[in-house]
Amino acid sequence: MKIRRLSAWLFLSLTLLAGLGRLALAQEFPVGQTITIIVGFVAGGGTDTATRIIAKELAANLGQAVVVENKPGAGGMLAAQYVVNAKSDGTVLMLGSIGPMAVMPHLMKLSFDPLRDLAPITMGASFPNVLVVPPSLNITTLAEFIALAKKNPGKLTYASTGVGSAAHLAGELLGQRAGIEIVHIPYKGGSAAMIDLIGGRIEAYYSTPSSAASHIQSKKLVGLVTTGLTRPDALSGLPTIAESGYPEFNASNWYAYLAPGKTPTSILERWNTEFVKVLMTPAVREALLSHGLIPDPMSRQALAEYMAKESAIWKAVIQERNIKID
């Protein structure tokens, strides 16, 4: 009799534990909580634009708040550090880019490894930068820009959104390939750089397509070339640097979504599903493309491999060009 009672108690206990386990798994994804996506740059630039478009659709799909929080500084590393130390429960995510994920780790000593301590979710979008100059320079082609730089070595300036950004590296690569010396001026965000460029305080800027397109159309700025291997739809009339005498030149930017490294795999996979669903939505794709951003959803494994490859490529460039943070 006692054995039967004990067996019944064990069965009931195991059944209860199994039920609690299933409930825990069901509640693992942060349903009903506010989701925060951290962006390591100031509001108004391409990173911010892409994330707000996607966040709005995520919020609608999930029926919960998805907010974008800007934490600029140190080329995106302040945001990365914040997310590395955040709760690993799926409520805090990060918009990662080439700088903090593939470049800055080779320029500064860090207390963490972005590729190890941030977990990949999916690629969001990729895009080239656009080399723009003010009309006052009286040039319209890359060849004229290079000729002007050669006549004035060390006098022309170009802006980027920070040391280690794709824009900075594009300038370094062009300097190397064309044999020109142009002074790099890093900014905390694209808006400030654009204001100074239009105001004539700098001579050139490797801008995002979303920031440059309207100014090119209004003739406030002159677009010379784009830095990727293909032309963005928003600026299809501009040649690439590769088409302008420098074959295989490629310095594209990309936006990927990540979470704290210890986030459970089930949460990461759910986030991958949600982000991919949004990125495949026609209205979202159209909105991103209109800003010169190419939607590029992929699996978590594919993103991990892509970021590792980018890190290796830019490490070699940094060493060859002896790029350092002042």
Length of the chain: 326
* pLDDT at residue 9, rounded to an integer: 46
Cα 293 from Cα 123, distance rounded (Å): 12
Pull the structure tokens for residue 104.
Answer: 């800055």
Kindly list the distances between the CA atom of residue 223 and the CA atoms of 80, 170, 185, 219, in Å, as whole numbers in the listed order. Answer: 32, 15, 19, 9
* pLDDT at residue 20, rounded to an integer: 41
* pLDDT at residue 291, rounded to an integer: 78
Give the chain's domains with CATH numbers. Answer: 35-126+254-321 (3.40.190.150), 130-244 (3.40.190.10)
Q: For each successive 10 residues of the chain (326 residues), what is the average pLDDT?
A: 46 43 58 95 81 96 97 89 97 94 92 96 93 97 98 95 84 91 88 94 91 92 94 88 93 94 97 98 92 90 95 87 80
Say what the pTM is.
0.78
- Bridge-based pairing of strands 66-70 and 35-39 is parallel
* pLDDT at residue 21, rounded to an integer: 45
CA angle 204, 242, 133 (to 5 degrees): 15
Residue 119 sits at φ, ψ, to 5 deg, of -95, 130
Kindly list the distances between the CA atom of residue 297 and the CA atoms of 88, 166, 195, 254, 301, in Å, as whole numbers in the listed order. Answer: 23, 20, 32, 11, 12
* pLDDT at residue 176, rounded to an integer: 87
